[in-house]
Structure 1
Protein backbone atom coordinates (compact mmCIF):
# COMPACT_ATOMS: atom_id res chain seq x y z
CA UNK A 1 0.00 0.00 0.00
CA UNK A 2 1.30 3.45 -0.81
CA UNK A 3 2.41 5.34 2.31
CA UNK A 4 1.50 8.90 3.00
CA UNK A 5 -1.61 9.15 0.93
CA UNK A 6 -4.00 11.87 2.04
CA UNK A 7 -7.27 10.27 3.11
CA UNK A 8 -10.45 12.16 4.05
CA UNK A 9 -12.89 10.29 6.29
CA UNK A 10 -16.29 11.81 7.11
CA UNK A 11 -18.15 10.88 10.28
CA UNK A 12 -14.72 10.01 11.66
CA UNK A 13 -15.19 10.78 15.36
CA UNK A 14 -16.71 7.49 16.49
CA UNK A 15 -17.88 4.03 15.47
CA UNK A 16 -17.16 2.82 11.96
CA UNK A 17 -15.66 6.14 10.88
CA UNK A 18 -13.24 6.13 13.79
CA UNK A 19 -12.13 2.60 12.91
CA UNK A 20 -11.66 3.56 9.25
CA UNK A 21 -9.54 6.56 10.22
CA UNK A 22 -7.48 4.38 12.54
CA UNK A 23 -6.84 1.79 9.84
CA UNK A 24 -5.50 4.37 7.40
CA UNK A 25 -3.50 6.05 10.15
CA UNK A 26 -1.90 2.74 11.13
CA UNK A 27 -0.92 2.23 7.48
CA UNK A 28 1.06 5.46 7.47
CA UNK A 29 -1.41 7.61 5.59
CA UNK A 30 -2.29 11.19 6.43
CA UNK A 31 -5.84 11.13 7.76
CA UNK A 32 -8.23 14.07 7.57
CA UNK A 33 -10.91 13.57 10.22
CA UNK A 34 -14.24 15.20 9.44
CA UNK A 35 -17.12 15.37 11.91
CA UNK A 36 -19.62 17.75 13.53
CA UNK A 37 -18.93 16.72 17.14
CA UNK A 38 -15.94 18.75 18.36
CA UNK A 39 -15.35 16.80 21.59
CA UNK A 40 -15.44 13.37 19.94
CA UNK A 41 -13.38 14.68 17.03
CA UNK A 42 -10.69 16.02 19.36
CA UNK A 43 -10.59 12.74 21.28
CA UNK A 44 -10.20 10.65 18.12
CA UNK A 45 -7.55 12.98 16.68
CA UNK A 46 -5.55 12.89 19.91
CA UNK A 47 -5.65 9.09 20.03
CA UNK A 48 -4.44 8.79 16.43
CA UNK A 49 -1.68 11.34 16.97
CA UNK A 50 -0.49 9.48 20.06
CA UNK A 51 -0.23 6.40 17.86
CA UNK A 52 2.03 8.29 15.46
CA UNK A 53 -0.47 9.16 12.73
CA UNK A 54 -0.35 12.38 10.73
CA UNK A 55 -3.78 13.90 11.38
CA UNK A 56 -5.86 16.87 10.36
CA UNK A 57 -9.18 17.37 12.14
CA UNK A 58 -11.94 19.64 10.86
CA UNK A 59 -15.43 20.36 12.12
CA UNK A 60 -17.55 20.22 8.97
CA UNK A 61 -21.25 20.00 8.19
CA UNK A 62 -21.15 17.68 5.18
CA UNK A 63 -24.57 18.87 4.05
CA UNK A 64 -23.22 22.40 3.44
CA UNK A 65 -21.18 23.02 0.31
CA UNK A 66 -19.53 26.10 1.83
CA UNK A 67 -18.14 24.00 4.70
CA UNK A 68 -16.97 21.33 2.25
CA UNK A 69 -15.28 23.81 -0.08
CA UNK A 70 -13.40 25.30 2.88
CA UNK A 71 -12.33 21.80 3.94
CA UNK A 72 -10.95 20.93 0.51
CA UNK A 73 -9.06 24.22 0.31
CA UNK A 74 -7.49 23.58 3.72
CA UNK A 75 -6.46 20.04 2.79
CA UNK A 76 -4.90 21.08 -0.51
CA UNK A 77 -3.12 24.03 1.13
CA UNK A 78 -1.75 22.00 4.06
CA UNK A 79 -1.17 18.55 2.49
CA UNK A 80 -1.05 19.31 -1.23
CA UNK A 81 -3.36 16.57 -2.52
CA UNK A 82 -6.28 14.22 -1.91
CA UNK A 83 -5.85 10.52 -2.65
CA UNK A 84 -8.82 8.85 -0.99
CA UNK A 85 -12.27 10.06 0.04
CA UNK A 86 -14.32 7.89 2.40
CA UNK A 87 -17.93 9.02 2.66
CA UNK A 88 -18.98 7.50 5.97
CA UNK A 89 -21.09 10.24 7.58
CA UNK A 90 -24.74 9.33 7.93
CA UNK A 91 -27.58 8.88 10.35
CA UNK A 92 -30.26 6.29 10.97
CA UNK A 93 -33.77 7.59 10.35
CA UNK A 94 -37.02 5.89 11.25
CA UNK A 95 -40.24 7.39 9.91
CA UNK A 96 -43.63 6.40 8.63
CA UNK A 97 -44.06 7.40 4.97
CA UNK A 98 -47.46 8.98 5.63
CA UNK A 99 -46.61 11.00 8.72
CA UNK A 100 -43.06 11.97 7.76
CA UNK A 101 -42.74 15.67 6.95
CA UNK A 102 -40.93 17.13 3.95
CA UNK A 103 -38.42 18.70 6.33
CA UNK A 104 -37.74 15.29 7.87
CA UNK A 105 -37.24 13.82 4.40
CA UNK A 106 -34.91 16.61 3.32
CA UNK A 107 -32.84 16.28 6.48
CA UNK A 108 -32.47 12.53 6.07
CA UNK A 109 -31.52 12.75 2.39
CA UNK A 110 -29.14 15.66 3.00
CA UNK A 111 -27.05 13.62 5.43
CA UNK A 112 -27.29 10.13 3.97
CA UNK A 113 -27.24 10.89 0.23
CA UNK A 114 -26.70 14.51 -0.77
CA UNK A 115 -23.55 14.78 1.36
CA UNK A 116 -21.97 11.92 -0.60
CA UNK A 117 -22.44 13.85 -3.84
CA UNK A 118 -21.27 17.15 -2.34
CA UNK A 119 -18.09 15.62 -0.95
CA UNK A 120 -17.36 13.76 -4.19
CA UNK A 121 -17.99 16.86 -6.29
CA UNK A 122 -15.53 18.89 -4.23
CA UNK A 123 -12.84 16.19 -4.05
CA UNK A 124 -12.91 14.92 -7.63
CA UNK A 125 -10.63 17.55 -9.20
CA UNK A 126 -7.84 16.54 -6.82
CA UNK A 127 -8.69 12.84 -7.07
CA UNK A 128 -8.37 13.04 -10.84
CA UNK A 129 -4.89 14.51 -10.45
CA UNK A 130 -3.84 11.79 -8.02
CA UNK A 131 -5.78 9.02 -9.79
CA UNK A 132 -7.30 8.33 -6.42
CA UNK A 133 -10.44 6.62 -5.21
CA UNK A 134 -13.72 7.08 -3.38
CA UNK A 135 -15.22 4.55 -0.99
CA UNK A 136 -18.80 5.16 0.09
CA UNK A 137 -20.33 3.53 3.15
CA UNK A 138 -23.72 2.17 2.16
CA UNK A 139 -25.73 -0.40 4.12
CA UNK A 140 -27.31 -3.80 3.74
CA UNK A 141 -30.58 -1.82 3.82
CA UNK A 142 -29.90 -0.61 0.27
CA UNK A 143 -31.02 -4.02 -1.00
CA UNK A 144 -32.55 -5.88 1.94
CA UNK A 145 -34.49 -4.04 4.58
CA UNK A 146 -36.92 -4.45 7.44
CA UNK A 147 -40.12 -2.63 8.40
CA UNK A 148 -39.59 0.72 10.04
CA UNK A 149 -36.45 1.75 8.15
CA UNK A 150 -38.04 4.38 5.91
CA UNK A 151 -36.40 6.40 4.38
CA UNK A 152 -32.93 5.12 5.38
CA UNK A 153 -33.18 2.25 2.90
CA UNK A 154 -34.10 4.66 0.10
CA UNK A 155 -31.13 6.90 0.85
CA UNK A 156 -28.66 4.01 0.93
CA UNK A 157 -30.06 2.67 -2.35
CA UNK A 158 -29.27 6.10 -3.73
CA UNK A 159 -25.71 5.87 -2.41
CA UNK A 160 -25.18 2.65 -4.35
CA UNK A 161 -26.64 4.13 -7.52
CA UNK A 162 -24.43 7.19 -7.11
CA UNK A 163 -21.43 4.89 -6.62
CA UNK A 164 -22.07 3.11 -9.91
CA UNK A 165 -22.66 6.35 -11.79
CA UNK A 166 -19.51 8.03 -10.52
CA UNK A 167 -17.52 4.87 -11.23
CA UNK A 168 -18.70 4.85 -14.83
CA UNK A 169 -18.21 8.58 -15.35
CA UNK A 170 -14.69 8.86 -13.91
CA UNK A 171 -13.10 5.52 -14.77
CA UNK A 172 -11.43 7.05 -17.84
CA UNK A 173 -9.83 9.64 -15.52
CA UNK A 174 -8.34 6.88 -13.40
CA UNK A 175 -10.62 7.40 -10.40
CA UNK A 176 -12.18 4.31 -8.85
CA UNK A 177 -15.44 4.53 -6.90
CA UNK A 178 -16.71 1.67 -4.74
CA UNK A 179 -18.87 1.09 -1.69
CA UNK A 180 -19.09 -1.17 1.32
CA UNK A 181 -22.44 -2.31 2.68
CA UNK A 182 -22.26 -3.14 6.38
CA UNK A 183 -24.97 -5.14 8.05
CA UNK A 184 -25.32 -5.41 11.82
CA UNK A 185 -22.15 -3.87 13.26
CA UNK A 186 -21.03 -3.82 16.89
CA UNK A 187 -21.41 -0.13 17.63
CA UNK A 188 -22.99 1.99 20.32
CA UNK A 189 -26.29 1.91 18.40
CA UNK A 190 -26.48 -1.89 18.60
CA UNK A 191 -25.66 -1.83 22.30
CA UNK A 192 -28.41 0.73 22.91
CA UNK A 193 -30.89 -1.29 20.85
CA UNK A 194 -30.17 -4.44 22.84
CA UNK A 195 -30.51 -2.55 26.13
CA UNK A 196 -33.92 -1.18 25.08
CA UNK A 197 -35.27 -4.52 23.89
CA UNK A 198 -37.91 -6.31 25.98
CA UNK A 199 -36.43 -9.61 24.82
CA UNK A 200 -33.34 -10.60 26.84
CA UNK A 201 -32.42 -12.99 24.02
CA UNK A 202 -32.68 -10.32 21.30
CA UNK A 203 -28.97 -10.02 20.53
CA UNK A 204 -28.47 -13.79 20.63
CA UNK A 205 -31.24 -14.19 18.06
CA UNK A 206 -29.52 -11.67 15.83
CA UNK A 207 -26.23 -13.54 16.09
CA UNK A 208 -27.90 -16.86 15.25
CA UNK A 209 -29.38 -15.33 12.08
CA UNK A 210 -25.88 -14.77 10.70
CA UNK A 211 -24.12 -17.66 8.96
CA UNK A 212 -20.86 -16.72 10.71
CA UNK A 213 -22.72 -16.60 14.06
CA UNK A 214 -21.42 -13.11 14.75
CA UNK A 215 -21.89 -9.56 13.60
CA UNK A 216 -19.21 -7.34 12.11
CA UNK A 217 -17.00 -5.04 14.11
CA UNK A 218 -16.12 -1.51 13.00
CA UNK A 219 -12.63 -2.85 12.31
CA UNK A 220 -14.09 -5.42 9.89
CA UNK A 221 -15.72 -2.62 7.92
CA UNK A 222 -12.54 -0.54 8.06
CA UNK A 223 -10.51 -3.41 6.60
CA UNK A 224 -12.90 -3.67 3.65
CA UNK A 225 -12.74 0.09 3.04
CA UNK A 226 -8.95 0.06 3.21
CA UNK A 227 -8.79 -2.81 0.72
CA UNK A 228 -11.06 -1.05 -1.80
CA UNK A 229 -8.85 2.03 -1.59
CA UNK A 230 -5.66 0.03 -2.01
CA UNK A 231 -3.64 -0.90 -5.11
CA UNK A 232 -4.79 -4.47 -4.53
CA UNK A 233 -8.25 -3.38 -5.70
CA UNK A 234 -6.98 -1.56 -8.79
CA UNK A 235 -9.26 -3.64 -11.06
CA UNK A 236 -12.38 -2.98 -8.97
CA UNK A 237 -14.71 -0.06 -9.54
CA UNK A 238 -18.47 0.38 -9.24
CA UNK A 239 -18.65 -2.51 -6.78
CA UNK A 240 -20.55 -2.85 -3.52
CA UNK A 241 -18.85 -5.15 -1.01
CA UNK A 242 -21.12 -6.58 1.70
CA UNK A 243 -19.63 -6.70 5.20
CA UNK A 244 -22.43 -8.55 6.94
CA UNK A 245 -21.10 -11.91 8.18
CA UNK A 246 -23.15 -13.65 5.49
CA UNK A 247 -26.57 -12.28 6.45
CA UNK A 248 -27.45 -11.21 2.90
CA UNK A 249 -26.89 -14.69 1.44
CA UNK A 250 -29.51 -16.39 3.57
CA UNK A 251 -33.21 -17.04 3.08
CA UNK A 252 -34.49 -17.72 6.55
CA UNK A 253 -38.04 -18.75 7.40
CA UNK A 254 -37.64 -19.20 11.16
Structure 2
Protein backbone atom coordinates (compact mmCIF):
# COMPACT_ATOMS: atom_id res chain seq x y z
CA UNK A 1 0.00 0.00 0.00
CA UNK A 2 1.41 3.39 -1.04
CA UNK A 3 -1.55 5.60 -0.16
CA UNK A 4 -1.47 7.16 -3.63
CA UNK A 5 -5.29 7.54 -3.60
CA UNK A 6 -5.61 8.95 -0.10
CA UNK A 7 -8.34 11.65 0.05
CA UNK A 8 -9.82 10.51 -3.28
CA UNK A 9 -13.39 9.27 -3.71
CA UNK A 10 -13.32 6.59 -6.39
CA UNK A 11 -16.51 5.48 -8.13
CA UNK A 12 -16.26 2.19 -10.03
CA UNK A 13 -19.01 0.95 -12.36
CA UNK A 14 -19.41 -2.74 -13.00
CA UNK A 15 -17.78 -3.14 -9.59
CA UNK A 16 -19.41 -6.38 -8.46
CA UNK A 17 -16.95 -8.76 -10.08
CA UNK A 18 -13.92 -9.18 -12.30
CA UNK A 19 -11.88 -6.13 -13.20
CA UNK A 20 -14.26 -3.74 -11.45
CA UNK A 21 -14.00 -5.63 -8.17
CA UNK A 22 -10.20 -5.71 -8.41
CA UNK A 23 -10.08 -1.95 -9.07
CA UNK A 24 -12.34 -1.23 -6.10
CA UNK A 25 -10.21 -3.37 -3.78
CA UNK A 26 -6.96 -1.80 -5.00
CA UNK A 27 -8.35 1.73 -4.72
CA UNK A 28 -9.37 1.05 -1.13
CA UNK A 29 -5.95 -0.42 -0.40
CA UNK A 30 -4.44 2.80 -1.77
CA UNK A 31 -6.44 4.88 0.71
CA UNK A 32 -9.50 5.93 -1.29
CA UNK A 33 -13.10 6.01 -0.21
CA UNK A 34 -14.82 3.73 -2.71
CA UNK A 35 -18.26 3.85 -4.31
CA UNK A 36 -19.50 0.75 -6.12
CA UNK A 37 -22.16 0.67 -8.84
CA UNK A 38 -23.51 -2.42 -10.58
CA UNK A 39 -26.70 -4.07 -11.84
CA UNK A 40 -25.95 -7.35 -10.04
CA UNK A 41 -27.30 -6.94 -6.49
CA UNK A 42 -26.12 -10.21 -4.95
CA UNK A 43 -22.57 -10.00 -6.25
CA UNK A 44 -22.45 -6.29 -5.43
CA UNK A 45 -23.41 -7.03 -1.84
CA UNK A 46 -20.65 -9.65 -1.60
CA UNK A 47 -17.98 -7.25 -2.90
CA UNK A 48 -19.25 -4.46 -0.65
CA UNK A 49 -19.01 -6.73 2.39
CA UNK A 50 -15.51 -7.77 1.34
CA UNK A 51 -14.42 -4.14 1.24
CA UNK A 52 -16.08 -3.33 4.55
CA UNK A 53 -14.14 -6.15 6.19
CA UNK A 54 -10.89 -4.39 5.20
CA UNK A 55 -11.97 -1.28 7.08
CA UNK A 56 -12.37 0.75 3.91
CA UNK A 57 -14.85 3.59 3.59
CA UNK A 58 -17.35 2.21 1.10
CA UNK A 59 -20.81 2.82 -0.33
CA UNK A 60 -22.63 0.86 -3.00
CA UNK A 61 -25.73 1.15 -5.12
CA UNK A 62 -27.57 -0.95 -7.64
CA UNK A 63 -27.98 1.13 -10.77
CA UNK A 64 -28.07 1.04 -14.56
CA UNK A 65 -25.40 3.11 -16.33
CA UNK A 66 -27.52 3.22 -19.48
CA UNK A 67 -30.43 4.97 -17.75
CA UNK A 68 -30.06 8.73 -17.42
CA UNK A 69 -32.29 9.05 -14.34
CA UNK A 70 -30.67 6.08 -12.62
CA UNK A 71 -27.19 7.53 -13.19
CA UNK A 72 -28.18 10.92 -11.79
CA UNK A 73 -29.82 9.43 -8.70
CA UNK A 74 -27.16 6.86 -7.88
CA UNK A 75 -24.21 9.22 -8.31
CA UNK A 76 -25.90 11.76 -6.02
CA UNK A 77 -26.76 9.08 -3.46
CA UNK A 78 -23.26 7.61 -3.40
CA UNK A 79 -21.64 11.03 -3.00
CA UNK A 80 -24.08 11.92 -0.22
CA UNK A 81 -23.46 8.65 1.59
CA UNK A 82 -19.69 9.17 1.49
CA UNK A 83 -20.03 12.84 2.41
CA UNK A 84 -17.85 14.04 -0.46
CA UNK A 85 -18.16 14.43 -4.24
CA UNK A 86 -16.66 11.86 -6.58
CA UNK A 87 -13.08 12.75 -7.54
CA UNK A 88 -12.25 9.65 -9.61
CA UNK A 89 -14.56 7.79 -11.99
CA UNK A 90 -13.67 4.39 -13.41
CA UNK A 91 -16.02 3.49 -16.26
CA UNK A 92 -15.67 -0.28 -16.15
CA UNK A 93 -19.23 -1.49 -16.88
CA UNK A 94 -19.37 -3.23 -20.25
CA UNK A 95 -20.69 -6.15 -22.24
CA UNK A 96 -19.41 -8.41 -24.98
CA UNK A 97 -21.11 -8.76 -28.35
CA UNK A 98 -21.26 -11.69 -30.76
CA UNK A 99 -23.52 -10.50 -33.58
CA UNK A 100 -23.76 -11.01 -37.32
CA UNK A 101 -23.74 -7.58 -38.96
CA UNK A 102 -26.32 -8.71 -41.52
CA UNK A 103 -28.68 -10.20 -38.93
CA UNK A 104 -28.25 -7.97 -35.90
CA UNK A 105 -31.30 -5.96 -34.89
CA UNK A 106 -31.25 -2.26 -34.06
CA UNK A 107 -32.24 -3.11 -30.49
CA UNK A 108 -29.26 -5.47 -30.17
CA UNK A 109 -26.92 -2.81 -31.60
CA UNK A 110 -28.27 -0.22 -29.17
CA UNK A 111 -27.85 -2.57 -26.20
CA UNK A 112 -24.11 -2.88 -26.91
CA UNK A 113 -23.49 0.83 -27.44
CA UNK A 114 -25.70 1.79 -24.50
CA UNK A 115 -23.53 -0.12 -22.04
CA UNK A 116 -20.09 0.16 -23.65
CA UNK A 117 -20.25 3.81 -24.77
CA UNK A 118 -23.32 5.80 -23.79
CA UNK A 119 -23.12 4.64 -20.18
CA UNK A 120 -19.58 5.96 -19.88
CA UNK A 121 -20.70 9.35 -21.16
CA UNK A 122 -23.69 9.49 -18.80
CA UNK A 123 -21.46 8.68 -15.85
CA UNK A 124 -18.86 11.24 -16.90
CA UNK A 125 -21.53 13.88 -17.34
CA UNK A 126 -22.78 13.21 -13.81
CA UNK A 127 -19.42 13.45 -12.04
CA UNK A 128 -17.61 16.13 -14.05
CA UNK A 129 -19.29 19.32 -12.73
CA UNK A 130 -17.92 18.93 -9.16
CA UNK A 131 -14.51 17.94 -10.54
CA UNK A 132 -14.43 21.02 -12.75
CA UNK A 133 -15.53 23.25 -9.89
CA UNK A 134 -12.82 21.82 -7.61
CA UNK A 135 -10.13 21.91 -10.28
CA UNK A 136 -9.26 18.29 -9.58
CA UNK A 137 -10.40 14.93 -10.87
CA UNK A 138 -9.67 11.92 -13.03
CA UNK A 139 -11.65 9.56 -15.24
CA UNK A 140 -10.35 6.20 -16.40
CA UNK A 141 -12.36 4.43 -19.10
CA UNK A 142 -11.92 0.68 -19.43
CA UNK A 143 -11.74 0.15 -23.18
CA UNK A 144 -10.26 -2.98 -24.75
CA UNK A 145 -7.54 -4.30 -27.02
CA UNK A 146 -10.46 -4.50 -29.47
CA UNK A 147 -10.22 -0.73 -29.86
CA UNK A 148 -7.02 -1.32 -31.85
CA UNK A 149 -7.46 -4.79 -33.35
CA UNK A 150 -10.21 -7.35 -33.19
CA UNK A 151 -11.34 -10.84 -34.10
CA UNK A 152 -14.09 -12.29 -36.23
CA UNK A 153 -17.38 -13.10 -34.55
CA UNK A 154 -17.48 -10.18 -32.08
CA UNK A 155 -19.38 -7.51 -34.01
CA UNK A 156 -19.83 -4.65 -33.05
CA UNK A 157 -17.71 -4.74 -29.86
CA UNK A 158 -14.65 -3.19 -31.53
CA UNK A 159 -16.73 -0.28 -32.81
CA UNK A 160 -18.08 0.49 -29.34
CA UNK A 161 -14.68 0.27 -27.64
CA UNK A 162 -13.05 2.36 -30.38
CA UNK A 163 -15.72 4.95 -29.71
CA UNK A 164 -14.85 4.88 -26.01
CA UNK A 165 -11.21 5.64 -26.78
CA UNK A 166 -12.29 8.48 -29.06
CA UNK A 167 -14.52 9.86 -26.33
CA UNK A 168 -11.58 9.64 -23.92
CA UNK A 169 -9.48 11.87 -26.17
CA UNK A 170 -12.28 14.40 -26.67
CA UNK A 171 -13.10 14.64 -22.98
CA UNK A 172 -9.43 14.91 -22.08
CA UNK A 173 -9.04 18.00 -24.25
CA UNK A 174 -12.29 19.59 -23.06
CA UNK A 175 -11.61 19.29 -19.33
CA UNK A 176 -7.83 19.70 -19.29
CA UNK A 177 -8.08 23.45 -18.54
CA UNK A 178 -9.81 22.47 -15.28
CA UNK A 179 -7.02 20.09 -14.20
CA UNK A 180 -9.24 17.08 -14.79
CA UNK A 181 -7.58 14.16 -16.56
CA UNK A 182 -9.23 11.49 -18.72
CA UNK A 183 -7.46 8.32 -19.81
CA UNK A 184 -8.33 4.88 -21.13
CA UNK A 185 -6.99 1.45 -20.31
CA UNK A 186 -7.24 -1.30 -22.90
CA UNK A 187 -7.02 -4.76 -21.37
CA UNK A 188 -6.28 -7.77 -23.48
CA UNK A 189 -7.13 -11.29 -22.36
CA UNK A 190 -7.93 -10.98 -18.64
CA UNK A 191 -9.23 -13.85 -16.50
CA UNK A 192 -12.83 -12.71 -15.94
CA UNK A 193 -16.33 -14.07 -16.42
CA UNK A 194 -16.57 -12.14 -19.70
CA UNK A 195 -13.42 -13.85 -20.99
CA UNK A 196 -14.85 -17.23 -20.07
CA UNK A 197 -17.97 -16.26 -21.99
CA UNK A 198 -15.77 -15.43 -24.99
CA UNK A 199 -13.86 -18.71 -24.71
CA UNK A 200 -17.14 -20.61 -24.53
CA UNK A 201 -18.50 -18.78 -27.60
CA UNK A 202 -15.54 -18.85 -30.02
CA UNK A 203 -14.21 -22.34 -30.91
CA UNK A 204 -10.61 -23.02 -29.80
CA UNK A 205 -10.26 -19.44 -28.54
CA UNK A 206 -8.57 -20.39 -25.27
CA UNK A 207 -5.85 -22.47 -26.91
CA UNK A 208 -5.25 -19.86 -29.60
CA UNK A 209 -4.96 -17.06 -27.05
CA UNK A 210 -2.34 -18.82 -24.96
CA UNK A 211 -0.23 -19.59 -28.01
CA UNK A 212 0.03 -16.00 -29.24
CA UNK A 213 0.64 -14.13 -25.97
CA UNK A 214 4.26 -12.92 -25.79
CA UNK A 215 4.19 -13.33 -21.99
CA UNK A 216 2.67 -16.78 -22.38
CA UNK A 217 -0.23 -16.28 -19.98
CA UNK A 218 -3.61 -14.67 -19.47
CA UNK A 219 -3.66 -11.49 -17.38
CA UNK A 220 -5.42 -11.02 -14.07
CA UNK A 221 -7.90 -8.36 -12.94
CA UNK A 222 -5.27 -7.21 -10.46
CA UNK A 223 -2.87 -6.49 -13.33
CA UNK A 224 -5.42 -4.05 -14.75
CA UNK A 225 -6.27 -2.56 -11.36
CA UNK A 226 -2.66 -1.56 -10.75
CA UNK A 227 -2.54 0.48 -13.97
CA UNK A 228 -5.97 2.02 -13.40
CA UNK A 229 -5.11 3.18 -9.89
CA UNK A 230 -1.84 4.67 -11.12
CA UNK A 231 -3.66 6.65 -13.81
CA UNK A 232 -6.24 7.77 -11.26
CA UNK A 233 -3.57 9.03 -8.89
CA UNK A 234 -1.50 12.20 -8.70
CA UNK A 235 1.48 10.09 -9.73
CA UNK A 236 0.04 10.33 -13.26
CA UNK A 237 -0.56 14.08 -13.02
CA UNK A 238 0.91 14.72 -16.49
CA UNK A 239 -0.93 11.87 -18.25
CA UNK A 240 -4.19 12.62 -20.04
CA UNK A 241 -5.82 11.58 -23.30
CA UNK A 242 -3.82 8.34 -23.32
CA UNK A 243 -4.85 4.76 -23.99
CA UNK A 244 -2.72 2.34 -22.00
CA UNK A 245 -2.57 -1.28 -23.15
CA UNK A 246 -2.58 -4.00 -20.49
CA UNK A 247 -2.40 -6.95 -22.84
CA UNK A 248 0.78 -8.90 -22.19
CA UNK A 249 2.29 -7.56 -25.40
CA UNK A 250 -0.38 -9.06 -27.64
CA UNK A 251 -1.16 -5.74 -29.34
CA UNK A 252 2.38 -5.32 -30.69
CA UNK A 253 2.70 -8.80 -32.12
CA UNK A 254 2.75 -8.94 -35.92
CA UNK A 255 1.36 -12.46 -36.23
- Shorter-chain TM-score range: over 0.9
Match of 2:53 in 1: 50
**Which TM-score applies when normalising by structure 1?**
0.94
Is residue 246 from structure 1 mapped to residue 249 from structure 2 by the alignment?
yes
- Map 1:11-160 onto structure 2 (within 5 A): 11-78=14-81, 79-130=83-134, 131-160=136-165
TM-score normalised over the length of structure 2: 0.94
1:206 corresponding residue in structure 2:
209
Unaligned runs of 5+ in 2: none
Q: Aligned partners of 2:48, 2:215: CA distance in 1, in Å?
A: 33
SS in 2 for 1:74: helix
Aligned equivalents of 2:41, 2:5: Cα separation in 1: 30
SS in 1 for 2:37: strand
Question: Where does residue 183 of structure 1 map in the other structure?
Answer: 188
Give SS of 2:66's match.
coil
Equivalents in 2 of 1:198, 1:163: separation in Å?
33
Over residues 90-119 of structure 1, what are the superposed CA-to-partner deviations in whole Å (9 max), with x where a residue is unaligned? 000111111001111111110110001100
After superposition, what is the alpha-carbon deviation per residue over 1:145-199, rounded to whole angstroms, capped at 9, x for unaligned?
Answer: 0111111110000000000000000000110000000011111233455567765
Match of 1:173 in 2: 178
**Alignment RMSD (CA, Å):** 1.5
C-alpha distance 174-108 of structure 1, shift in aligned 2 (>3 A): same
Count of residues paired in the alignment: 250
Structure 1 residues 100, 203: closer, same or farther in 2, change over 3 A? closer
